[in-house]
Structure 1
Amino acid sequence: MVTNDFWLERWQAGRIGFHRDEVNPWLTQYWPQVARGAKVLVPLCGKSADLLWLANQGYDVTGVELSPMAVVQFFGDNDLTYQTEQVGHLKIHQAHDLPLRIVEGDYFDFDETGFDACYDRAAMVAMPEEKREQYVQHTKQRLQAGASLLLITLSYDGEQAGPPFSVLDDEVQELWGEWIRKLASEDLLQLDERYQGAERSFYEESVWRITGQ
């Protein structure tokens, strides 16, 4: 069962193989044209360097992350000072010198709206199948009409208890709607030896985008 405690324990134990120190190349290649100053939402952000990249492009970045350890490590690793405010069940950590904040708490408790764009590298694939529709609907409610989305998914065959979970193309299109387009994909079995041990015929990472209407 993938619960909040599951993720908190993963961070506590340092079992964060999903984390990457570098900025995701899909982000830098395929981020949509969004006006500087736009509000960008990053669900389940961890301590990703992608947050810094977005802030340095001039966006007003809000990451949402369950693990307090991930939040502290993000600010510490990047030598950022910040201030913290408790708002209901959530803690808001605002960087002093960047248009960047991390909201600490359960993503489903986060109810701010009006975001112009969303970047999802690790959130949808972290959701078990029974929670994906709720996740997508909750995210859509955070976004303005016509907002942009950059989404990265995985699909694979064979057994894996997950996460990350396999999310098939049909499900992405059904949940996100007619405006989503697949831009690129690559089979990680051919690129990364970490995925070659299991008995699989494919392990595909795909990048999707909705460009604001």
Structure 2
Amino acid sequence: MVTNEFWLERWRTGRIGFHRDEVNPWLVQYWPSLARGAKVLVPLCGKSSDLLWLANQGYEVTGVELSSLAVVQFFGDNDLTYSTQQDGDLKIHSADGLPLKIVEGDFFQFHEGGFDACYDRAALIAIPDYLRQEYVEHLMQRLIPSAHLLLVTLSYDGESSGPPFSVPDEEVVSLWGNTIHKVASEDLLQLDERYQSDSRTFYEEIVWRINP
């Protein structure tokens, strides 16, 4: 059962194989051209370097992350000072000198709106199937109607002990509607032996966009 405690335990024990130190190349290649100051939401952000990349483009970046360890490690790893304020059950950690903040807490308790864009590299694939519709609906309520979306998913066969979970293409379209389009994909079986098993014939990473 994938619960909040499941993720907190993963961070406590350092089992964060999903984390990547480098900026995601899909982000650099496919992020839309937005005006400086645009509000960008990054749900379930962990301690991703992608946050820093987005902030350095001049966007107002808000990450949402459950684990306090992830938040502290993000600021520490990037030598950033920050201030913290309590907002109900959430903690708001704002970087000094950068348009970047991380909201610590359950994403479903995060209710700020008006975001111009969303970057989801690791959120949808971390959520079990029975919660994905609720996740997408809650996320859409945070975005303006003309918001951009850059989404990265996984699709694979064989046994799954996820997360990360396989989210089939038809489910992505069902969740987001026919305005979402696949723009790139790559079979990770050909690149990394970690994804290989006797029961798999493909392990595909897929990039999707909504461009209003």
TM bucket normalised to smaller: over 0.9
Match of residue 129 from structure 1? 129
Give the share of equivalent positions with the same residue, in percent. Answer: 74
* Aligned residue in 1 for 2:206: 206
Q: Which amino acid aligns with 1:32?
A: P
Letter of the 2:205 partner, please give it. E
5 Å-filtered alignment, 1:12-23, equals: 12-23=12-23
Aligned pairs for 1:1-213 within 5 A? 1-211=1-211, 213=212
Residues 11-60 of structure 1 deviation map (CA, whole Å, 9 limit, x = unaligned): 00000000000000000000011111100000000000000000000000
Secondary structure at the counterpart of residue 113 of structure 1 = coil
Q: Gaps (5+ residues) in structure 1? A: none
> C-alpha displacement at 1:172, in angstroms?
0.4
How much does 1:199 deviate?
2.0
Cα distance in 2 between the residues matched to 1:160 and 1:50:
27
Post-superposition offset of 1:198: 4.7
Q: SS state of the match for residue 102, structure 2?
A: strand
- Measure the CA separation in 2 of the matches of 1:35 and 1:174: 30
Alignment TM-score, normalising by the size of structure 2 = 0.99
AA at the equivalent of 2:90? L
TM normalised by structure 1 equals 0.98
Q: Secondary structure at the match of 1:181?
A: strand
| Deviation of the 1:98 alpha carbon | 0.5
Where in structure 1 do 4 or more consecutive aligned residues deviate above 3 Å? none
For the aligned residue pairs, the C-alpha RMSD in angstroms reads 0.6
Aligned residue pairs, count: 212
Unaligned runs of 5+ in 2: none
1:50-75: CA deviation from partner (whole Å, max 9, x where unpaired): 00000000000000000000000000
CA distance in 1 between partners of 2:6 and 2:198 (Å): 23
